[in-house]
Each structure stands twice: as structure tokens, then as C-alpha cells.
Amino acid sequence: MPDPASPDRPPLEDLVVITGVSGAGKSTAMQVFEDAGYFCVDNLPPEMIRGLVELFLHEGSKVRRAAVVSDARGGAYFEQMSAVLDELDAAGVDHRVVFLDASREAVMTRYKETRRRHPLSPEGSVAQGIATERELIEPLRARADLVVDSTGLKAHELRRKLADDLLPRASATRMAVTFESFGFKNGPARDADIVLDVRFLPNPHYVPELRPLTGRDQRIVDYVAQDGHLDAFYERLLPLLDFLLPEYVAEGKAHLTIAIGCTGGRHRSVAISEFLAQRFADNPDIVVDVVHRDADVTPA
């Protein structure tokens, strides 16, 4: 294994090895690191960790932080894990081992809910697979830098605990919020988390001199706001979003799409999307983007 201290080698700042009990939340743990910008690999046999680290330490590699999940799905290969960790220690490669655990009852319940087969008992009982796996992985528990018992934790609670315990606050990725305008007549918004229908507001489409414009034009904003309903809408919507966005951040959500729809997706929805993007642009916990799906569609 290359010497990580060599001046010709780029630094590998953090290597996290995630292991533990099947059904205890290893995939959730990997998502936490992925959202924080780590290079992530799932279901990697221990023997391949050695080769992957060598690639990371190779001149020209741009990987500085990586997380790998290696568990009993590797079968007999998993028995090499302790030896691989010894090699990392001997080579001076900075790494952390995270062990995800859960009670037998919790794992049984999760497998029943998902109707998945246990990887160590594909043709037998889940209970037998749990017992076999526990015997195989238990020695690694003592080598772990962090043991997390996910029994009783919901997915968002586990994500928050892992982020708090393993990631510097400054390195955590901010939630990405997209405000997307669209026109209902061109089809529904896809993959939206929240959809707002603003067709109750005055429609500039019926004013010939305004029809060619879009909601980016102040004349459209003034027309939509003329009867006071736009201001009344904001008075109710903004407190709701001021409440919801921190809750989604705390839950660990990586991306939130708020779709605003009007008839054609050119005037009212565009104006409101632009306003909301500007309103929340300075929020330190989120990254704001604005997308106008139908703004360039020629009005009929």
C-alpha cells in the first residue's frame, strides 16, 4: 500500500468504513456521507478496500473523503476485514470504523416489513441469518470508533445522529431548495415535494400587451398584485415556509422542490418563484435554485 505521507501522494483526509448488522441502517449511514460530499461505495468486499485506497492515494486522484460499506454480504471474504484494517493502521492511513447495530427484535421487524431475505440465509429463516451474521461480525464491534444502536430510531433520527457524531458542522451539505414554476396545461410538476396552485390570481394572459412578457417583468408582478390577493397569499405562505424549511433541514432532507403552478407557467408562477427564491436566498441552511419549466413556451 502506498505511503500516504509521501510528498508525491495527495492526502486522503478521511476514510470511513461502515459495517455492522444487516438491517441496522448502513445504507442510511452511507447516504449521510454521500450528502456531505464523500465518495461512497456500497457492498465492497474487504479485500477490495485495499485496492480502492491505493487508487485514492495514487497521484492524480481527486478523492479526499470516502466512505465504504463492507459487511457480511461479502460472505467468506468478510473474514479478511480485520486484516485489512490492520494494514490501514500499519500504512498510516487515517480511517474510522462505524459499526451499525440493532436489537434482534428490531432487525426481525424491519425484515418482516420489507419482506427481504437475509443475505446470510437467502433460503432459510431471517432469525438464522441474524444469528450467523452476529457471530461473524461481532469481533469488529470492538474495533469500531463509533457504535450506533439504531433500535428505536427512525431514519431521519439516525441520519441526524450520524451527522452530528461524525461530520463537522461546517462540512454538512446544506439542503438544496428548488422553486419551480410550471403550467398546469403543460402537465403536472414531476418529483415536486410541495405544489402550490396560484391560478386564483389575476391572469396577465388576457391582457394583449402583457401576454408576451414573463413573470420576470415588473409589469407582470404589478398586474398580478393589483387586487391585493398576492400580498395576502404571501402573508400566509411565508410563515408556513419559515416553519417548514428548518424542519426539513433538521430531518436531514437533502433536496426539496416547491412547485408553483399557474395555467401556462409563464406569468404568475414565474413571478412567485422568483420572489420566493429571492426571499430565501440568504438563508444559511439552504441553497436556493429557481427553475422555470414552461416560461419559454410561446403563449397561444
List Cβ<8 Å contacts ≥24 apart for 217-224: 220/267, 220/268, 220/270, 220/271, 221/271, 221/275, 224/267, 224/268, 224/271
- Statement to judge: residues 108 and 203 lie in one domain: no
CA distance 108 to 111: 5
Question: Which pLDDT score is estimated for 133?
Answer: 79
CATH number of the domain that 160 lies in? 3.40.50.300
300 in any annotated domain: no
Question: Which pLDDT score is estimated for 140?
Answer: 83
Domain encompassing residue 203: 175-292
Domain boundary (117, 136, 171) is at: 171
**Residue partners of 192: CB distance under 8 A and separation at least 6:** 180, 257, 258, 259
2 in any annotated domain: no
> For 195, phi and psi rounded to 5 degrees?
-120, 130
Bin 239: left if φ > 0, else alpha if -120 < ψ < 50, else beta.
alpha
Q: Name residues of the chain where pLDDT drops below 50.
A: 170-171
- Statement to judge: residues 146 and 20 lie in one domain: yes
List C-alpha distances in Å: 299 to 9, 13, 98, 148, 214.
58, 53, 56, 56, 10
27 in any annotated domain: yes
Domain boundary (145, 171, 197) is at: 171
- Statement to judge: residues 201 and 70 lie in one domain: no
- Statement to judge: residues 216 and 116 lie in one domain: no
- Statement to judge: residues 67 and 204 lie in one domain: no
- Statement to judge: residues 167 and 275 lie in one domain: no
CA angle 79, 26, 163 (to 5 degrees): 125
CA distance 141 to 214: 60
Angle between helices 81-91 and 46-57 (to 10 degrees): 20
6 in any annotated domain: no
Query: Are 198 and 215 within 8 A, CB to CB?
Result: no
Domain boundary (115, 148, 171) is at: 171
Question: Which pLDDT score is estimated for 99?
Answer: 92
Task: For 165-189, write each residue's pLDDT tens digit.
Answer: 887 654 456 788 999 999 999 999 9
Task: For 218-263, write each residue's pLDDT tens digit.
Answer: 999 999 999 999 999 999 999 999 999 999 888 778 789 999 999 9
List C-alpha distances in Å: 300 to 126, 136, 269, 279.
60, 67, 17, 31
For the whole model, what pTM was predicted? 0.56
